[in-house]
Structure 1
Amino acid sequence: MGRIRNALVRPWVVGVLALAVAGGGFGLYWFRPWKLWQDETVQEALPGATAASEAPAGAPSGTPSGAPSDASPAPSPAGPATLASGELISHEHATSGTVKLVRLTDGSHVVRLENLDTSNGPDLHVWLTDAPVKEGQAGWHVFDDGDHVSLGKLKGNKGSQNYTVPAGVDPSGFTSVSIWCDRFDVSFGAAELARA
């Protein structure tokens, strides 16, 4: 009798253990909890930004000999222009930094994250949205309700980074930026864009 009971129990125990291992593996893949302890820092310069050039020491000032005195120096090309900016606030995870919508000299646009500091997580993206930025839990899930454009995966959870606004997208129709977790449909943090 005991042998029959043991023979029936073993397959059941093996089945439960197999389900537990499969469920644990799926949970680790889905949640990726180790990312909470892994920081990825990315430091990018703003495209087209150059330091102001200075004349070398000892260079002559004024008009070079032989040049007409009414000639004005060639205008330097205009650099990138900040059209809107805002400060990131925390949602699902503590998040800070500055967001800028920048028009580059070639007329294209980038969203620039400066001094970003947030948690790492699975499937994080940078979204340009038309949703209002709300503090607390009320703001965690609003960014997929209206229009939004994904600018790509978050390059790093720390640092300063650039995200290209796709050609054909008019950034003037968007009012906020969210660090969006696509896996769980939640905002890690967001910033309202105030026009410059």
Structure 2
Amino acid sequence: MSRRIYLPLVLVLVVVAGAGLALFQPWKAFSDTTVNESLPSASAPMKDGPQGKGNAGMKGEEMKGEESSSEAGMQPKDLAEGRFVSHEHDTTGNARTVRLADGGQVLRLEHLKTSEGPDVRVYLSARSADGAESGLGDGAVELGKLKGNLGNQNYAVPAGTNLSKFRSVVIWCERFSVSFGAADLTPMKR
């Protein structure tokens, strides 16, 4: 083979190999990212004390009474929960939606175990976990990139999101449009 053909051919192969590595990120098949976050606890908003600087102007006993009255009945509340089922990759663990003391909502993934992948994200879907295997469906809400493929993690649910409209949580690979796994969200009994 002459040099005129060999050099361009090698350059093309290098570019194709580089693009393939960037697209598929095969090293992620051999790595894990563990995340262990605790459930967020929202603190009660500070009220203006006598000097107008939060609780700074309150005395010890006044503070104690203020804290206990503002914290009373303000515990996180589970709204729905479910177990992951596998789709394109083995996926196990639990998902639950939680209303925080300040009224915010989070999706919590617990004991998650799935695969690493390129551009993996967490979604709420109106489809069931089984239905999400073929796609997210209309109105799916992205909660962010998957923080890690192992462990416990929290995702803020956008303000104003009506969680009762969503039937499942989906671990979704954007790059290849596939579900790694999903969990049906069953409302908690009151």
Place the TM-score, normalised by the shorter chain, in its bin: 0.7 to 0.9
Aligned to 1:11: 4
Query: 1:141 Cα shift?
Result: 2.8
User: Per-residue displacement from partner, 1:16-39 (whole Å, max 9, x unpaired)?
Assistant: 211111000000001001011111
Aligned to 1:106: 102
Percent identity (aligned): 46
Query: 1:81 Cα shift?
Result: 0.8
Aligned to 2:64: none
Aligned to 2:165: 173
The root-mean-square deviation of aligned C-alpha atoms, in Å, is 1.9
Query: 1:77 Cα shift?
Result: 2.8
Unaligned runs of 5+ in 2: 43-67
Q: Structure 2: how far apart are the matches of 1:158 and 1:106?
A: 28
Q: Decide which of 73, 77, 85 is 2:73's aligned counterpart.
A: 77
* Matched ranges for 1:10-29 at <5 A: 10-29=3-22
Q: Structure 2: how far apart are the matches of 1:45 and 1:123?
A: 24
Larger Rg: 1
Q: Structure 2: how far apart are the matches of 1:18 and 1:39?
A: 33
Q: How many residues align?
A: 163
User: Per-residue displacement from partner, 1:109-151 (whole Å, max 9, x unpaired)?
Assistant: 10000000001111011101101221xxx753321x3221110
Query: 1:10 Cα shift?
Result: 2.1
Letter in 1 for 2:140: H
* TM-score in terms of structure 1 length: 0.78
* Matched ranges for 1:44-83 at <5 A: 44-48=37-41, 76-83=72-79
Letter in 2 for 1:82: D
Aligned to 1:185: 177
